[in-house]
Chains A and B, each alone.
Chain A
Amino acid sequence: MTRIDQTFRRLKAEGRPAFVTYVMAGDPDFEASLDLVRGLPGAGADVIELGLPFTDPMADGPTIQLAAQRALGAGMTLARTLELARRFRQSDPETPIVLMGYYNPIYSRGVADFLTEAKAAGIDGLIVVDLPPEEDEELCIPANAAGMNFIRLATPTTDDARLPKVLQNTSGFLYYVSITGITGAAEANADLVAPEVARIKAASDIPVCVGFGIKTPEAARAIGRIADGVVVGSAIVERLASGQSPATVLEFVRTLADGAHGDG
């Protein structure tokens, strides 16, 4: 059982949805990013998605694109991203870390070596945007075999016929993409998302988290009522990009967490 599985089991027992935060590793630089990541659990994050910078993030909007460019510009690499996770793990043995990004840096490193290094760094799961079920042999199956969760995306275009294929090798949780589009674009509509989440939950016991287009505490609250978890990324990264200090950004994260958890 991974830290992700344990976290969702605990939250289920508490009757609370998970609050999942996304930040880009190394944005704006290694030390500031590490400070921010270290502060996330204290600000209410139950799961941390750590963005792996890539030059060509095809599913991301301008906010995450620019975050990746800042991180790469500051010398971020796959190895440095794993180092950041390892440093975080020294002071926090519990909060799950999901590495989220694109396949090429991992493929370039070599899947077997990557999995060994990522596990040693304390990474618990992977979201790789450009690996659909049709390419499961590449990384999904080896990752699951290595005891790491492979978290799949389901989208509004994933119909009933296709859903079993998407669920098949997914572990940890399922990430439901609330909109057709890129990160940070349109706003998620809880009324439209609710039946989709129900459709997935009817087909599987796996926790379902919802992300894309959730920008405010109110939106987080609305999604938290209908899903097992709420993912916020661009809205946090946007504040960091506007020059806010990690402490100020963490205050905002706290308001999102309270919204997602239905507190306050």
Chain B
Amino acid sequence: MPNELFNSFMSGPDERGRFGNYGGRFVSETLMPLILSLEAEYEHAKTDPAFWAEMDDLWKHYVGRPSPLYFAERMTERFGGARIYLKRDELNHTGAHKINNVLGQILLARRMGKTRIIAETGAGQHGVATATVCARFGLQCVVYMGAHDVERQAPNVFRMRLLGAEVVPVTSGRGTLKDAMNDALRDWVTNVENTFYCIGTVAGPHPYPAMVRDFQSIIGKEVRTQIMEREGRLPDTLVAAIGGGSNAMGLFYPFLDDKDVQIIGVEAGGKGVNMKMQHCASLTGGRPGVLHGNRTYLLQDDDGQIQEGFSISAGLDYPGIGPEHSWLHDVGRAKYVAITDKEALAAFQLSCETEGIIPALEPSYALAHVAKIAPGLPRDHLIVMNMCGRGDKDIFTVAKALNVNINTGA
């Protein structure tokens, strides 16, 4: 049925790496041959059964996939409306969805004969995942991390070092995730022969947004099977948190052509999106621009200078968003909302108290939106939310936000 094919939301990107007007390959000439050869390698691997057989084996025995789809009974009772399911990607090895993608990229790096892996990290989850898989395969690993994030995510810095990675605190710019990405790109442009850049989200130059999405799509594929087993039908609503947007893209992508499935991405609204630049909500509070190899919605001033986001969650503290989200936003296939830090903290506590799950701060934003909509929805409405990370790394930040001294408990 050619007409249906034409209308598919799953056919992007085009050969230029565009999702509508977003995406592309905005990189320096030095990097252009590198991303072209990566694209060729990925195109080949994508249809190679041996590649996916190796992925499936590692996903099952090393990561612990499939992750459970869990019916959150007490949360459902508490809200008194929709039935809430949590996709438990926080149970993955290394505690977040990040490793789904890292495995794919490291296998590609090995196929390309690269011996040195570089990565950027914000909260540290992608850095930990990269350091982990590099240790597993005996590859050299260098992780760029904003100096500010090194400070607020000390446990993850120590984890990466235990795993044998070199963590480079980035002081250029203002020392946050976007600056870490700049320095990783500067490293890559310098070490073109042996180095593979393992990007942690659905952003960057083509083919990264599509490639990372494909690796993360295991989340949504599993949800399709699992919800059919549990409920005999597809969910009504999907909800996921968005920084760069990889866990969300992974959950959403396999459902894009299921028109009856409502899709909601939740951005970090910081102190509130109407508070000037005290947030990281690129779609809700930004406009299209070009940064880090792709065109997408960005937080920027009138002159096109990039602005710093603000969020209590280091994992969402990025002034951009994956280009496919920008496109889904513009065409209206997905809806994007913002949740404040305060609302996310309340949801964090609610998850601990009602389900015995200590979530990462990132999915707490998604949960806060679930808490807003669930009570008003009918009891047969199915919500699937991606619990994309666990909160061990965040207990210090949360304690501080709640004015609790973690050592004395007072």
Contacts and interface: CB of A to CB of B under 8 A. Distances in A.
Interface of A: 53-59, 61-62, 65, 69, 72, 77-79, 102-109, 129-135, 152-159, 162, 166, 177, 180-182, 185
B178 interface: yes
A56 to B, nearest CB: 5
Interface string B160-204: 000000000000110000110010011001111000000000000
B306 interface: yes
A56 B306 contact: yes
Given A54-B305, A130-B293, A157 B300 contact: no
B179 to A, nearest CB: 8
A105 B28 contact: no
A177 B25 CA distance: 19
A53 B306 CA distance: 11
Given A56-B178, A62-B172, A130 B32 contact: no
Contacts of A158: 29, 33
Given A132-B27, A154-B29, A103 B189 contact: no
Contact of B303 (A78, A103, A131): A78
Given A77-B303, A105-B303, 13 more contacts: A62-B172, A103-B290, A104-B305, A105-B305, A107-B295, A107-B304, A130-B28, A153-B30, A156-B192, A157-B32, A177-B29, A180-B190, A182-B186
A89 B182 CA distance: 34
Interface residues of B, number: 36
B186 A104 contact: no
Contacts of A55: 173, 305-306
Contacts of A181: 189-190
B26 A157 contact: no
For A54, A103, A108, A152, the residue with the greatest tally of chain B CB atoms inside 10 Å of its CB is A108
B34 interface: yes
B26 A135 contact: yes
Contact of A180 (B189, B290, B293): B189
Given A107-B290, A180-B189, A157 B304 contact: no
7 contacts: A55-B173, A55-B306, A104-B298, A104-B306, A107-B304, A154-B29, A155-B29
Contact of B304 (A57, A78, A152): A78
Given A105-B303, A181-B190, A65 B30 contact: no
B147 to A, nearest CB: 14
Contacts of A103: 26, 290
B333 interface: no
Contacts of B304: 54, 78, 104-109
A132 B305 CA distance: 21
A107 B189 contact: no
A107 B289 contact: yes
A130 B33 contact: no
A103 B296 CA distance: 13
B303 A108 contact: yes
Nearest to B289: A104
Contacts of A65: 172-173
B289 A108 contact: yes
Contacts of B24: 134-135
B182 A56 contact: yes
A132 B172 CA distance: 25
B44 interface: no
Interface in B303-348: 303-306
Contacts of B179: 56
B93 interface: no
Nearest to B302: A108
Of listed A69, A107, A109, residue having the most chain B CB within 10 A: A107
B29 A132 contact: yes
A111 B28 CA distance: 19
Contact of A130 (B26, B172, B178): B26
A153 B173 contact: no
Given A180-B189, A181-B190, A182-B189, A58 B28 contact: yes
Contacts of B259: none
B306 A134 contact: no
Interface in B182-233: 182, 185-186, 189-192
A172 B189 CA distance: 25
A21 B292 CA distance: 27
Nearest to A105: B304
B342 to A, nearest CB: 29
Given A56-B173, A59-B189, A182-B189, A72 B293 contact: no
B173 A152 contact: no
A159 B33 contact: yes
A24 to B, nearest CB: 14
Contacts of A177: 29-30
A253 B348 CA distance: 59
Interface string B22-45: 001111111111100000000000
B276 interface: no
Contacts of A134: 16, 24-25, 32
A235 B225 CA distance: 60
